[in-house]
Amino acid sequence: MTKIPFTRRQASAEHAEAIRNAVRTTETMPCGARIATQADTDALTALLIDPQISDPIYSLPKPITRDAVSAFIDRHLQERARGEGLLMFLDDGEKTAAGYCDIQFWPEWAACELGGAVRTNRQGAHTGFDGAVAAFGWLFDEIGVDLICETAARNNIRTAKLLEHIGFRYLGEIESETPGGGVRASHYWEMTRADRTVARK
């Protein structure tokens, strides 16, 4: 199993605690997503039960059931309380899920991994690109991380192109551990604050 992030620079105790506090107090993201709660279980289950959305994502419980999604939400609420994780829910104004974001933090490294998906009918055009740029900017500027790492299934060409267009550095293949204890081969990228500065010029 490959441990991420690859790049590990010890954050100061003050910086790590600032990240934890930012995570604990997060309510929304720039895209309008908010903290997922148990009240969102049915809507999130309906989104994730679509294999086009859930199959490429290694961090999701399999199979997708209401109980599994409920436990997934509860785990993230516990992670938020520790300042180590967020599960954000994006609705479409009609009590159905338009998408979600799953963010894991390593405050000791000032690092995080952002995952998630949007409903298939909201994909395409510049929606994914603009949303990703806004989310990564928020993680750097508001949460305070210095490094973002990303993974994607080997056949996920769309995500690979998106990340490299934004300015992420491709660092090769890794083995990602699934919630059920399995392994998935994944591509792996990183972006530091310095990388972001270069990409924005």
Number of domains in the chain: 1
**For residues 103 and 80, what is the distance between their CA atoms, to the nearest angstrom?**
10
Whether residue 89 has pLDDT greater than 80: yes
> Which structure tokens are listed for 127?
């929606």
Rounded to 5°, angle at Cα 175 from 131 and 6? 70
Kindly state the average pLDDT of the residues 48-76.
Answer: 94
pLDDT tens digits for range 108-162 = 999 999 999 888 766 655 556 788 899 999 999 999 999 999 999 888 888 999 9
* Interatomic CA distance for residues 34 and 40, integer angstroms: 11
The Cα 140–Cα 142 span in angstroms is 6
* CATH (domain of 28): 3.40.630.30
Smallest CA-to-CA distance from 189 within 13, 21, 1, 4 is with 4
Task: Determine the structural domain holding residue 124 and report its residue range.
Answer: 13-146
Compute, in degrees rounded to 10, the torsion defined by CA atoms 194, 195, 200, 201: 80
Q: Model-level pTM?
A: 0.93
49 belongs to a structural domain? yes
